[in-house]
């Protein structure tokens, strides 16, 4: 498995989950209280992303921010991957030496709390609020991870090139979270992008979960998407070639993350 693919998944599929975490989890919310900060993560010759913290909220963005307060650089994707795996890694600090207190005190709290919900006891919590939170995390990670794989996995480059241009909308009925995965034209080529809880003007294909409970069972791996489609608990419609290619990238993302 490519280290660059793994790094892109961490930056574009896992790091965005911090937004939902600080809205749901009190210890995470306290960790960013009274902070006004932009932290940028960038891999040399690879992906970049940033987190903006303001007024008790957090926003994730792909690419480089124009004015980060802290700029963390990683010589190799492996170095970033080790950081996300919980190892004691010291990235390059190109900017923000006076703002490092948050990285040593606040950010580890966020990492620990996210791990609690993704891999610890928090993952098994049930109930309406827990189900919604887990589906939000799962859906967002899935869409961002699919875009990362499509953009950075050299073994799927031909598949990415053959994917039709268009937008796949993934939503939970009746009024649950939604997001998109799309292949868009960019600078004479193409780029795969993901959005989450943003307005969708047009979708070429749609994947729907019949309920929040169905979405959680599929995301947790307790229900096969193929079975759910067969029973009518999931529905797909629209540009089938786009859906077929999306499933390939989803399968690759799931294998990398150990979900299959």
Residue 218: DSSP 8-state: H
Packed helices 17-24 and 128-152: angle between N→C axes, nearest 10 degrees = 170
Nearest 5°: the CA angle 7, 8, 14 is 90
Specify the pLDDT at position 105.
86
Low-confidence ranges of the chain (pLDDT < 50): 260
- Smallest CA-to-CA distance from 26 within 143, 110, 125, 141 is with 110
Class of domain 3-122: alpha beta
pLDDT attached to residue 259: 53
Average pLDDT of the residues of the chain: 91
Write b or e for each residue in 211-221: b if 16 or more Cβ atoms lie within 10 A of its Cβ, otherwise e: ebebbbbbbee
Q: How far is CA 235 from CA 204, 215, 231, in A?
A: 14, 12, 9
Cross-strand partners of 167: 182
Q: Does 128-256 match 3-122 at the fold level?
A: yes
Domain ranges of the chain: 3-122, 128-256
Q: Which CATH number fits domain 128-256: 3.30.1050.10, 3.10.150.10, 3.90.79.10, 3.10.20.30?
A: 3.30.1050.10
- Measured between its terminal Cα atoms, the distance across the chain in Å is 15
Per-residue pLDDT, 215:
94
Q: For residue 73, what is the enclosing H or E element?
A: strand 70-74
């Amino acid at each position: 498995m490519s280290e660059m693919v793994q790094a892109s998944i961490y930056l574009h599929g896992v790091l965005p989950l911090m937004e939902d975490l600080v809205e749901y989890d009190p210890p995470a919310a306290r960790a960013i209280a009274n902070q006004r900060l932009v932290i940028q993560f960038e891999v040399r010759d690879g992906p970049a992303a940033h987190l903006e913290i303001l007024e008790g909220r957090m926003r994730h963005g792909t690419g480089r921010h124009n004015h980060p307060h802290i700029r963390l650089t990683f010589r190799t994707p492996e170095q970033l991957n080790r950081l996300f795996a919980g190892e004691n890694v010291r990235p390059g600090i190109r900017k923000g030496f006076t703002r490092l207190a948050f990285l040593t005190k606040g950010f580890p709290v966020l990492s620990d709390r996210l791990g609690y919900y993704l891999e610890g006891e928090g993952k098994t919590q049930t109930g309406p609020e827990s189900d919604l939170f887990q589906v939000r995390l799962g859906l967002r990670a899935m869409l961002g991870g699919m875009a990362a794989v499509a953009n950075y996995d050299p073994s799927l480059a031909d598949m990415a090139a053959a994917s039709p241009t268009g937008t796949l909308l993934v939503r939970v009925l009746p009024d649950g979270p939604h997001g998109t995965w799309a292949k868009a034209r960019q600078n004479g080529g193409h780029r795969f992008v993901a959005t989450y809880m943003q307005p969708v003007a047009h979708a070429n294909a749609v994947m729907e979960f019949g309920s929040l409970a169905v979405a959680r069972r599929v995301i947790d791996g307790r229900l096969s998407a193929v079975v759910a489609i067969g029973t009518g608990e999931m529905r797909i419609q629209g540009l089938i070639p786009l859906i077929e290619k999306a499933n390939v990238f989803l399968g690759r993302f799931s294998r990398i993350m150990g979900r299959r």
